[in-house]
Amino acid sequence: MADSLTNRAALKNWVQSGLVCVYPGYRQSVQWETKLTASIPALQAEFVAVPINMVQLVGSLRKELADSLSTSKVLVVGAGGIGCELLKNLVLTGFKNIEVIDLDTIDVSNLNRQFLFQKKHVGKSKAQVAKESALQFSPSANITAYHDSIMNPDYNVEFFKSFILVMNALDNRAARNHVNRMCLAADIPLIESGTAGYLGQVTVIKKGMTECYECQPKPAQKTFPGCTIRNTPSEPIHCIVWAKYLFNQLFGEEDADQDVSPDTADPEASWNPEETAARATAAEMDGDVKRVSTKQWARSNKYDAIKLFNKLFKDDIMYLLTMDKLWKKRKAPTPLDWQQLENTGCFPEESSGSGLKDQQVLGVWGYCKLFQESVETLHSLLDEKGDGAELVWDKDDPPSMDFVTAAANLRMYIFSMNMKSRFDVKSMAGNIIPAIATTNAVIAGLIVLEGLKILAGELESCRTIFLNKCPNLRKKLLVPCILDPPVANCYVCASKPEVSVKVNVHKTTVLSLQDKILKERFGMVAPDVQIEDGKGTILISSEEGETEANNNKFLSDFGIRNGSRLQADDFLQDYTLLINVLHTEELERDVEFEVVGEAPDKAPPPQNNQGEGYGITNGNKDSAQPSTSSKVPADDDDVMVVDSDDADAEASSSSAAVTSTTKRKHSDAETGESSTKRPRTDQSSAEATPDDSDDDIIALD
């Protein structure tokens, strides 16, 4: 490299000291040395100087690292917004052995930011098409694609052990939890990532060295895949987001990402790629009938509220019912018919709740009439503005708020949820943050940079990196933070995971314990539960049909009472959790259980009452020590709901709120969760640390 320098005099001091700065941006230019030396003072702070007699470069990488890339086998989980950018980056960086897995299929709405896909790919497997497109960048790469769920039992601990590194590009918490546990069990480094609008986050998880994804408590998830909004809503917020989408489809600016019709290419509705692709094609063509948008259909019917009602709440729901695979483990929705409701009079305009009108919950027929009135009012406002006009949804505009309240509550009723008052809907509506291609690209690049550190054996130099919307006080958009160590009482990566749960043993069924507590709350996939009663009574078995007779029995029927202990094992995740049962009859209404440590509607840090008599550890016995993962989320067709309209203002103004004792508290990029860094106790020593000089300290409210 020294022989190729054309401006050696400018670098004389560096060469004499045995150091040289590598500046890859100008590597191909014969004038790069001149441009480099013109800004040496700045570059000395930004680039790592390396001994000149040891540097052998392959491209922009050291030869040893480049050789490592060509032989290292890595796993990419997710081929959506971040996954596409990541796969492209990996092959261009020099990775040769890559496996990518994604259950999803390509939708038209993906094409504006997932650049490995084209219109001709709609309905096909994301993983397979991403592989084919990435190979055009590097034909010599060996890429294996799986159109499957990472939670499939086929992808066990041994599967994960075959990789040197796992990189997540997921869009839901359940899959993140699962990959977190599999990497802990296999003792494989995991890079977590996520985006939400202009915000992004990347972090590294390594067993025994860093926090795992589940070390920090997380509030209720605030990001949802598109197919959940359109096909399988399970929470009121899903219906509220759907209603806001519907407002834009009918009266506002149409957006392909905000389609409200049933998602015919929902990957969960079909595990067969050919069948999914056929459904997507059929959905586009509908035989010889050209599909029209929701707004075009409404205009052709002169915004007839009753016809619109029957399309949305009857016809579309009946179509969803034909996707029978969706309802094998869910309660099927119940269609509503306007004429039937009007003729039978079964639903009077009763209201529940006391106080102000906005705090009352109407009956179903009441919301039907409100839907009709709001559609007629909004149609009139649209006509007044003239052809091509659009309305903008505003929670302080009564007709707009009436429409979203009525549509959301009707959908809640159809999917067997408790309806909400206008006040509740207004407070939950918030802002919806779209996915942004540039954010995905930045985060994907950061994932590769952290991956290079890991492969170079420099785990201690890895960081959690936050991408901000606005520059901070140091005029930086990217803010690195030192990785935190494992939380001692984490119910996933602690050496003896244990948690206390309050339940009413006389009302809680075995099925609720399995589905709502173990699977939904604690993220298990196929739990086996044994009662620690001295007999080893099997309460739940992952073997199909073995304990099915127990499902509808109450916990008390098996002698479970206050102080009983349950051992829950998930052999797929190589994970064991001890559960202390605390009987109570004082749970709040509609609350089935509460994890000790926090309110029932929040995800609490579990109690860690480690019993001396239990030597249960997770992962390999060789590495049964507190382990780690990450605290980052996802992207790709997700909706993020911000609770306050002032969120953007708070995010930007927060960059000016600096304190010397608290590290920045940053919103989790995909889920909107907060991740608070630990207090800096020794400011003087922190200032003396080079890494900490870049750890900007921002306090977010």
Q: Dump pLDDT digits (tens) for 44-94.
A: 444 444 444 455 666 677 888 888 888 999 999 999 999 999 999 999 999
> Could you count the other beta carbons within 10 Å of the beta carbon of residue 132?
14
Asked whether 202 and 230 are in contact (CB, 8 A), the reply is no
Q: How far apart are CA 424 and CA 420, in angstroms?
A: 6
Task: Please compute Rg for the chain using Cα positions.
Answer: 28
Q: Which residues lie closer than 8 Å to 684 by C-beta, 6 or more apart?
A: none
From the list 292, 271, 295, 291, the residue with the least C-alpha distance to 281 is 291
Residue 633 has pLDDT above 70, yes or no: no
Residue of 84, 183, 212, 227 with catalytic role:
227
**Tokens 């920045």, located at residue:** 664
Which residue reads 């546990």 in tokens? 181
Helix (H, G, I), strand (E, B) or coil at 70: helix
Within 153-189, strands assigned E span: 165-168
C-beta atoms surrounding 671 within 10 Å? 26
Residue with tokens 């309905």: 123
Which of residues 44 and 547 earns the better pLDDT score?
547
User: In degrees rounded to 5, what are phi and psi of residue 467?
Assistant: -105, 120
Host H or E run for residue 339:
helix 338-344
| More confident site: 358 or 679 | 358
Residue 443 has pLDDT above 60, yes or no: yes
Q: Say which residues have a Cβ less than 8 Å from residue 155's Cβ, sequence separation at least 6.
A: 101, 148, 182
The per-residue pLDDT for range 368-398, each reduced to its tens digit, is 999 999 999 999 999 898 887 889 888 878 8
Residue among 226, 215, 220 at smallest CA distance from 173: 220
pLDDT tens by residue, 190-216? 999 999 889 999 999 999 999 999 998
pLDDT at residue 21, as a whole number: 44
Looking at every residue in the chain, the average pLDDT score rounds to: 76
* DSSP H/E element including 177: helix 173-186
Does residue 693 surpass a pLDDT of 80? Answer: no
Helix (H, G, I), strand (E, B) or coil at 658: coil
With cut-offs at 50, 70 and 90, classify the pLDDT of residue 28: very low
Task: Assign 326 a pLDDT band (cuts: 50, 70, 90).
Answer: confident
Task: Tell me the pLDDT band of 227, cut-offs 50, 70 and 90.
Answer: confident
pLDDT band at 141 (very low <50, low <70, confident <90, very high): very high
CA distances from 79 to 119, 273, 531, 544, 653 (A): 16, 15, 41, 32, 34
Name which of 165, 140, 97 is nearest 449 in CA terms.
Answer: 165
Residues 6+ apart with CB under 8 A from 625: 207, 208, 495
CB 170 within 8 A of CB 179: yes
Partner residues linked to 161 by β-bridges: none
Geometric angle at alpha carbon 519, from 518 and 523, rounded to 5°: 95
C-alpha separations of 159 from 75, 145, 180 in Å: 10, 14, 14
The pLDDT value recorded for residue 163 is 96
* Burial annotation 568-584 (CB, 10 A radius, 16+ → b, else e): bbbebbbbbbbbbbbbe
For residue 371, what pLDDT is reported? 95
Contact status, residue 629 vs residue 170, Cβ threshold 8 Å = no
Could you identify the residue written with the tokens 């796993």? 75
pLDDT at residue 267 in the model: 64
Most confident region among 270-284, 334-348, 682-696 by mean pLDDT: 334-348
Q: Is the pLDDT of residue 331 over 80?
A: yes
Q: Report pLDDT for 297.
A: 86
CA distances from 686 to 530, 679, 696 (A): 48, 11, 11
Tokens of 573: 């995740």
354/331: higher pLDDT: 331
Burial code of 393-430, b = ≥16 C-beta within 10 A, e = fewer? bebeeebbbbbbbbbbbbbbbbbebebbbbbbbbebbb
484-532 residue pLDDT tens:
999 988 989 998 899 999 999 999 999 999 998 999 888 899 999 999 9
The C-alpha angle with vertex 577 and arms to 574 and 583, in degrees rounded to 5, equals 155
Note the pLDDT tens digit of each residue in 29-45. 334 444 444 444 444 44
Rounded distance, CA 50 to CA 20, Å?
A: 6
pTM of the model: 0.60
Residue 192 near residue 168, CB atoms below 8 Å: yes
The predicted structure's pLDDT at residue 608 = 40
Proportion of the chain in helix, strand, coil states, percent, rounded to 5: 40, 15, 45
Q: How confident is the model at residue 269 (pLDDT cuts 50, 70, 90)?
A: low
More confident residue, 304 or 46: 304
- 683 versus 209: the higher-pLDDT residue is 209
Q: How far apart are CA 109 and CA 130, in angstroms?
A: 16
What is the reported pLDDT for 130?
97
**Catalytic residue flag (residue 227):** yes
Residues 96-110: pLDDT tens digits?
A: 999 999 998 898 878
pLDDT over 80 (residue 266): no
